[in-house]
């Protein structure tokens, strides 16, 4: 029996990329229902929506909820949608934006605010809304998507790195705060994963980063959304029942080889 059997999960930013892979992995691992919360139901890569793919590949109920995670009311409504299906067991705060790949001296206030609002506030709003409904039930699992940039320096990523460092730090603090209520909180640090986010990267598109990267990654390849999804599914489900306040680095060893 799967360790996600019967659980109701909510994944933010699940219309494409890593979030989509997580939603599908949770569904295939036995979740009873998966709420796909995103700005749009249409995947940026084109093709079928995440809810359609869940219906094709599993028995899980799939529900799309329009949600901008930088708006706390919309996040609360998305958690409410999961509750209406029977109660939220798993929240994955995955939605995120990378912002401008520029030096800090060239980034204006609005661009900084946008990244912090989505990546930090969005994660905190999600954790807060989930904790409020999980607390009376005395159980729950939250997984927050950080990044390897939170673990080591990289030029032109200061705002994004700050936001992802905050995501990890909040996860550790919340594990202490919510553990006594039966709620686990963990994080994942993906490395360079092939999604719309990375293919939009100018240097990656030009091939310069991609070529160097495969040499610098000990496992000699960039990651796939499924690589991250499998780690998230472990942290989300009961197989990791005594794991909280930690993070999984899913980067092919990249951060150890810098």
Ligand X SMILES: NC(=O)c1ccc[n+]([C@@H]2O[C@H](COP(=O)([O-])OP(=O)(O)OC[C@H]3O[C@@H](n4cnc5c(N)ncnc54)[C@H](O)[C@@H]3O)[C@@H](O)[C@H]2O)c1
d(CA 125, CA 191): 25
Name, in order, each residue with C-beta under 8 angstroms of 110's C-beta and a sequence gap of 6 or more.
none
Nearer to ligand X, 96 or 140 (CB): 96
Binding status of residue 159 toward ligand X by CB under 6 A: no
At its nearest, how many Å lie between ligand X and the CB of residue 99?
Answer: 10
Binding status of residue 197 toward ligand X by CB under 6 A: yes
Binding status of residue 231 toward ligand X by CB under 6 A: no
Binding status of residue 145 toward ligand X by CB under 6 A: yes
Active site residue 160: yes
At its nearest, how many Å lie between ligand X and the CB of residue 242?
Answer: 26
At its nearest, how many Å lie between ligand X and the CB of residue 21?
Answer: 8
- Provide the token pair at 73: 């009311």
Binding status of residue 50 toward ligand X by CB under 6 A: no
Which of 73, 196, 206, 258 touches ligand X by CB under 6 A?
A: 196
DSSP annotation string for 65-124: EE--TTSHHHHHHHHHHHHHTT---EEEE--------S-GGG--HHHHHHHHIIIIIHHH
Nearer to ligand X, 203 or 241 (CB): 203
- Which segment (63-71, 105-113, 168-176, 206-214) binds ligand X by CB under 6 A? 63-71
CB 175 within 8 A of CB 245: yes
Closest CA to 142 of 124, 155, 156: 124
CA distances from 28 to 10, 213, 234 (A): 14, 31, 13
Binding status of residue 95 toward ligand X by CB under 6 A: yes
Nearer to ligand X, 30 or 75 (CB): 75
At its nearest, how many Å lie between ligand X and the CB of residue 66?
Answer: 9
How big is the chain by its Cα radius of gyration, in Å? 17
Name, in order, each residue with C-beta under 8 angstroms of 249's C-beta and a sequence gap of 6 or more.
148, 151, 188, 189, 191, 255
| Ramachandran angles phi, psi of 247, nearest 5° | -145, 150
At its nearest, how many Å lie between ligand X and the CB of residue 161?
Answer: 11
Binding status of residue 18 toward ligand X by CB under 6 A: yes
Sign, Cα dihedral of 118, 120, 121, 126? positive
Which of 13, 126, 140, 252 touches ligand X by CB under 6 A?
A: 13
| Ramachandran angles phi, psi of 89, nearest 5° | -100, -35
Q: 125, 160, 172, 242: which is the annotated catalytic residue?
A: 160
Give the footprint of ligand X on this chain (CB under 6 A). Answer: 12-13, 15-19, 38-40, 44, 67-70, 94-97, 118, 145, 147, 190, 192-193, 195-198
Q: Catalytic residue numbers?
A: 160
């Amino acid at each position: 029996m799967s360790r996600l059997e019967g659980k109701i999960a909510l994944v933010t930013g699940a219309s494409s990329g890593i979030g989509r892979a997580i939603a599908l992995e949770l569904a295939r691992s036995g979740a009873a229902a998966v709420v796909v919360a995103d700005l749009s139901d249409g995947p940026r890569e084109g093709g079928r929506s995440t809810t359609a793919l869940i219906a094709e590949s599993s028995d899980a109920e799939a529900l799309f909820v329009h949600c901008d995670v930088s708006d706390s009311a919309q996040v609360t409504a998305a958690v409410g949608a999961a509750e209406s299906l029977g109660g939220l067991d798993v929240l994955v705060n995955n939605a995120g934006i990378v912002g401008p790949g520029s030096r800090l001296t060239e980034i204006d206030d609005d661009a900084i605010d946008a990244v912090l609002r989505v990546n930090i506030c969005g994660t905190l709003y999600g954790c807060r809304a989930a904790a409020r409904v999980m607390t009376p039930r005395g159980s729950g699992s939250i997984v927050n998507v950080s990044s390897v940039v939170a673990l080591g320096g990289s030029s032109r990523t200061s705002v994004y790195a700050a936001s992802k460092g905050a995501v990890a730090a909040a996860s550790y603090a919340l594990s202490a705060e919510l553990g006594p209520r039966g709620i686990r909180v963990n994080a994942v640090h993906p490395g360079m994963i092939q999604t719309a986010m990375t293919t939009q990267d100018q240097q990656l598109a030009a091939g310069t980063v991609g070529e160097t990267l495969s040499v610098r990654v000990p496992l000699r390849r960039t990651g796939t959304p499924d690589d991250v999804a499998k780690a998230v599914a472990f942290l989300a489900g009961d197989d990791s029942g005594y794991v909280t306040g930690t993070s999984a680095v899913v980067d092919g060893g990249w951060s150890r080889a810098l």
